[in-house]
Chain A
C-alpha cells in the first residue's frame, strides 16, 4: 500500500475494516452506524462490506453494552461505538460491574474482549451533555485498559492492538481529531503496544505529559516556548491504562519539573495520578514545580466563549510551563 494522506477518521475506519475482514468472529455494534455512517462518519460503508456484523442498535446504550458483554463471553470480539462519550454513563453498569470483572471474578474461565470506541471532548459549543472528555472517570477501574491516540498513525496502530486484546478497552477518539490528516502507509503501521508512550519532543527543562487532543495543544505550546528558550520534553501517553510510568519517571528525573495536560477535570484527573506517581518516585529530583492543567470543576457551558475559558488551551499550557519553571 502506498503512502497516502489519510484522516484520523479514515484510519479508524481502515482499522475496523481490517479487523472485520480478518475474522468472522468480530462484530461492530452501535447507534446509526449503518446507512447513516456513524454520527461522526467513521463507520461509513462498513455495513455494506460486512453486512451481518455491523449492527445498528436501538438507542439503548446500557442494553447494547450488555449485549456486547454477552457476545464477548460467548466467543465474539466486539467493537462498540458510543456516539458521544457522555452517553457512556448509561452503560456504566455493564462496563464497571460486568465487562471489567469477567476475567477476574469468574476465576479466569471467561474473557470479555470488547472495545468501546467513543468520540470525546469539547471546544465545539455542544454544552454539558455532549462535550466531556471523561476518561478520568474510568481511569481507576481495574480490569479496564484505556487508549487515547492523538495521531492518525497511532489511531490505526492503537485500534489494532485494542481489538486484539482479550480485555475490555476504552478507546477515546477526540472529535477535533477526526479531520486531522497525515501521510501514512497503513501497511507499515505496527500495532501500538499498551503502556508505551511516545516522546513527541525531547527536551531537558520540563516534562509535559498529555494525550489525545491535549497533546496537540501541548505541542503548540511547547513549540512556541522554544522562542523563550524553554526546552520542554513532550510525552504523548497514547495508552492511559496501563500507564507508561517508566517513561514519565525517567523524563521528570531528567527535567525536574512536570506539567500534566488533559481536557478532563483536574480533580481526580489523569494528571492527579501522574503527579502522585512522580511525588512517590522522583521527589528528590524536582527543582521546578508540578502543575496540572485541565478543565476546572464546572460543567461545560454551551456558550463557545465560556467553554473556551473553561477548557485548557495553548496559552494556559504555556503559562503552566512557565510557572513550573518558576519563570513567571
Chain B
C-alpha cells in the first residue's frame, strides 16, 4: 500500500506539473517548446520505483516525468523552464537539456536517440569501476529507429553492461505511427537481435511497470547484462506545443484515457483510501505545484554573466557539483 501511495503521489505531481506547463504555454509565458508526458506518468514512476538513488538515469525530450519521479524540486524545474539562473542548469538547458547531477540524473536530451549511447557509457563506467549501480535509459519508439539504438544495445550486450533500456512506446514518433515505419508490433522484439532479454508491460499501470522494471533490474544488478523493457503507453497531448493531432482519432484518444494512470492507481488504492482522502491528496499536489511555480517566478532573471560564463570548465580548479 505504501508503495502504491508513493507511486500515486508522484504521478499526481507529474500530472499537475505538466498541466501547469501546458497552461503557461497557452498563455505565452514560456519560450521555446515543450513535450508533455501527460498519459505516460506510470512509466516514469514505475521505473523509478525499481531504482536506487545511486542509479544513473538518462532521459529524452519528454523528460519532466522522469525528473520529478527521481525527486527533482518542481520549483527549480519551473525556474529552468523559465530560463532563470536558479534553475538546475542555470536556465541554459531548459526542458530538453536538463541534468541534476546530485540525483545522478545525466540529462534529458533534445536529439532523438542521443541519450542512448550516453547511458551505455555510464554503464561502461559502472562496469569498469565495479560499482553496484545500474544505468537506465528512457527513449521512445521513434528513437528505436535511430542508429544509436542499434549501436548502443549491441555494445551493451557485447560487453554485458548494467543498463536497463526503457522504451516508452507511445505509438507515435511525432506524427508517425510505429506500424508505418516498422514491420514489428513490439520494439522489444529487437532485443533478441542483441541476445538481450526483454519484457513488454502495460505502461499505463504504474504497479505493473514497477514490477517489470524491478524484475529486469534485479537481473542486471546480478551481473547478467542489459535488458530492454517496452512500456505500451500514450501521450494525451500532441508531440509538442504546435501539434493539432491530425494523425489520430479522438476515439483512439478516448480509449487510452479510459486507462488513465491516475485513475488506475486510484482504483488500486480504493478500499485503502477514502474518496475524501484521495481528494485531499489531489488538492495538496495542486497547491504544491502552484507554490513551486510562484516561488520560481520570484527568482531573478539572467544577467550577461549567466549567458556567457562557463563555456569551458576550468581544469585546475574545477570541482564537480554532482556525486558522480
Residues of A within 8 A of B (CB): 27, 52-53, 55, 57-58, 60, 62-76, 93-94, 97-98, 101, 103-111, 142-143, 145, 164-167
4 smallest beta-carbon distances between A and B, as pairs: A70-B121, A66-B117, A63-B151, A107-B90
Segment among B11-19, B122-130, B252-260, B288-296 that sits at the interface with chain A:
B122-130
Which of A53, A64, A73: most chain B Cβ within 10 A? A73
> In whole angstroms, what is the CA distance A128 to B314 when docked?
38
> In whole angstroms, what is the CA distance A97 to B320 when docked?
21
Segment among B60-68, B152-160, B180-188, B267-275 that sits at the interface with chain A:
B152-160
> In whole angstroms, what is the CA distance A64 to B123 when docked?
12
Cβ 8 A contact of B116, one of A66, A73, A103: A66
Q: Is the CB of B116 within 8 A of A58?
A: no
Task: Give, as a whole number of angstroms, the nearest-CB distance from B129 to chain A.
Answer: 7
Nearest CB in chain B to that of A106: its residue? B99
Nearest CB in chain A to that of B117: its residue? A66
Given the known inter-chain contacts A73-B122, A106-B99, please indicate yes or no for A62 contacting B321, CB distance below 8 A. Answer: no
Chain A residues in 8 Å Cβ range of B155 = 57-58, 60, 63-64, 67
> In whole angstroms, what is the CA distance A266 to B101 when docked?
42
Chain A residues in 8 Å Cβ range of B87 = 107
Chain B residues in 8 Å Cβ range of A145 = 312
Given the known inter-chain contacts A106-B89, A107-B89, please indicate yes or no for A66 contacting B152, CB distance below 8 A. Answer: yes
Segment among B1-9, B103-111, B200-208, B216-224 that sits at the interface with chain A:
B103-111
Cβ 8 A contact of A104, one of B107, B117, B311, B321: B311
Residue B120, interface by CB 8 Å: yes
Q: Is the CB of B315 within 8 A of A165?
A: yes
Q: Is the CB of B314 within 8 A of A166?
A: yes
Q: Is the CB of B125 within 8 A of A69?
A: no
Chain B residues in 8 Å Cβ range of A69 = 117-118, 121
Chain A residues in 8 Å Cβ range of B123 = 70
Chain A residues in 8 Å Cβ range of B101 = 106, 109-110
Chain B residues in 8 Å Cβ range of A66 = 114, 116-118, 120-121, 148, 151-152
For the complex with contacts A97-B111, A107-B93, 12 further pairs of A-B residues with Cβ separation under 8 Å are A53-B128, A55-B124, A63-B152, A66-B151, A67-B118, A70-B124, A70-B125, A103-B312, A104-B310, A109-B320, A109-B322, A145-B312
Interface contacts (Cβ under 8 Å), in number, total 155
> In whole angstroms, what is the CA distance A27 to B125 when docked?
10
> In whole angstroms, what is the CA distance A150 to B205 when docked?
61
> In whole angstroms, what is the CA distance A66 to B152 when docked?
9
Task: Give, as a whole number of angstroms, the nearest-CB distance from A144 to chain B.
Answer: 9
Given the known inter-chain contacts A97-B114, A105-B92, please indicate yes or no for A75 contacting B129, CB distance below 8 A. Answer: yes
Q: Is the CB of B154 within 8 A of A67?
A: no
Nearest CB in chain B to that of A101: its residue? B97
Task: Give, as a whole number of angstroms, the nearest-CB distance from A154 to chain B.
Answer: 19
Per-residue 0/1 for B276-315: is the Cβ within 8 Å of any A Cβ (1 yes, 0 no)?
A: 0000000000000000000000000000000000111111
Chain A residues in 8 Å Cβ range of B110 = 97
> In whole angstroms, what is the CA distance A237 to B285 when docked?
59
The 16 listed contacts between A and B (C-beta, < 8 Å) are A53-B128, A70-B122, A74-B121, A74-B125, A75-B125, A93-B114, A94-B117, A98-B114, A103-B312, A105-B89, A105-B97, A106-B89, A107-B90, A109-B100, A109-B322, A166-B314
Task: Give, as a whole number of angstroms, the nearest-CB distance from A25 to chain B.
Answer: 8
Cβ 8 A contact of B121, one of A71, A106, A166: A71
Residue B324, interface by CB 8 Å: yes
Residue B32, interface by CB 8 Å: no
Residue B28, interface by CB 8 Å: no
